[in-house]
Homo-oligomer: A and B are copies of this chain.
């Protein structure tokens, strides 16, 4: 009787097969211990065709649509979940970021196929094109939910080499393909697995993160305008140094924000540009990007308002002008409570006490799918918290455990 119970609640994933597929796809665009695979580059297209073959081998109906999304559709007659993530990578990024969630979907489909108790339920698996922003923001998943129009596609070019997206699609042999559109009635919801990309799980000695939601993000652009001049001949009192204005503003932001921060607030000045950025020239202009993230929209908005207030103060004080513009504002996403419960129960089965609930500080395709479907995410630990670097890694035992938890949770949701 025990065996029967196990079969009902536990489709068994094959950890060795899972790892082997992850190692194989990492060969497409290998860079040191990581991968350089920008969306619709030659190696990326090759990896998509390889993935479609794996989907077909697993008994799924494989296709690549007109934006580069790769699908493996279940032929099961019963209820279905959509699973996915992305197989494109950051420039010189890690071997698991994105692709792990796609291969989890493939492995869950194989586990369902191989388990007589799971043959009535199914998963569709997707690799969403360009999650990492080679051409734009969440290009593939937005296309799938109907939030990407043709005019926007016309405008997109690769940040790697300037290739227009239209040309990249044509070179991939996809110019004639339609863009697949979501039929929400087909699915119970959407699940995505991903590496954590941070150090919280490792620090808390947990192996599974049950994601409560994805943070809201405000991105602010600041431009400081001074007066370009010779760095040897312009006395300090009459200078209008845009670089000084920028670094002074940064110090003010860091000091003020530290007093306002919530438990999960983060902010980053990731990009600074001085103009002309020459050692003997007083910068005439300087630009920076300030990004603020928090699971609570109110906190994101409060800090953004504070950044704008500091900019207005700097502008009034002079001698440089300051213009601040809100480039984007992404609303926080909340996970489906029933899906979180299913992930938590499966995690407790396989790693008792080894899981925790946590927000996602990073953006994921799940936040796009969540606009149309109940959604949730699972995290596995990142060694040393490293992400967006070729040295990113996760222990093989954690990779296999995460996939088993993911499979169990999916089966439980579909049977629920």
Contact = CB atoms under 8 A, between A and B. Distances in A.
Contact of A269 (B236, B243, B254, B388): B243
A228 interface: yes
Given A279-B289, A289-B279, A388-B229, A266 B198 contact: no
A33 to B, nearest CB: 15
Contacts of A238: 199, 203, 385
A247 interface: yes
Interface in A276-300: 277-284, 289, 291, 293
A329 to B, nearest CB: 14
A48 to B, nearest CB: 24
A272 interface: yes
B274 A232 contact: no
A281 B197 CA distance: 11
Interface residues of A, number: 60
B265 A234 contact: no
A301 to B, nearest CB: 17
Contacts of A241: 268
Contact of A248 (B251, B267, B281): B251
Contact of A291 (B265, B271, B279, B361): B279
A157 interface: no
A266 B272 CA distance: 23
Contacts of A283: 270
Given A198-B233, A233-B196, A278 B282 contact: no
Interface in A140-171: none
A197 B264 CA distance: 50
A380 interface: no
A230 B389 CA distance: 9
Interface in A209-247: 215, 217, 219, 228-236, 238, 241, 243-244, 246-247
Interface string A176-206: 0000000000000000000011111001000
A363 interface: yes
Contacts of A254: 244, 247-248
Interface centre among A231, A265, A273, A362 (most CB of B within 10 A): A231
Interface centre among A265, A268, A277, A361 (most CB of B within 10 A): A268
A266 B235 contact: yes
A394 interface: no
Given A243-B269, A251-B247, A362 B232 contact: yes
A250 interface: yes
Interface centre among A232, A273, A278 (most CB of B within 10 A): A232
Interface in A356-389: 360-363, 385-389
Contacts of A196: 233
A261 interface: yes
30 contacts: A197-B232, A198-B232, A199-B234, A199-B238, A200-B235, A203-B238, A229-B385, A229-B386, A230-B361, A231-B266, A232-B266, A232-B293, A233-B385, A234-B266, A234-B385, A236-B265, A243-B250, A244-B254, A244-B269, A248-B254, A268-B279, A268-B280, A268-B281, A270-B278, A270-B280, A270-B282, A271-B274, A273-B277, A279-B291, A281-B388
Given A230-B387, A243-B269, A268-B280, 4 more contacts: A198-B229, A219-B279, A235-B264, A236-B267
User: 7 closest A-B pairs (Cβ-Cβ)?
Assistant: A198-B233, A232-B361, A247-B250, A231-B268, A230-B387, A232-B362, A233-B361
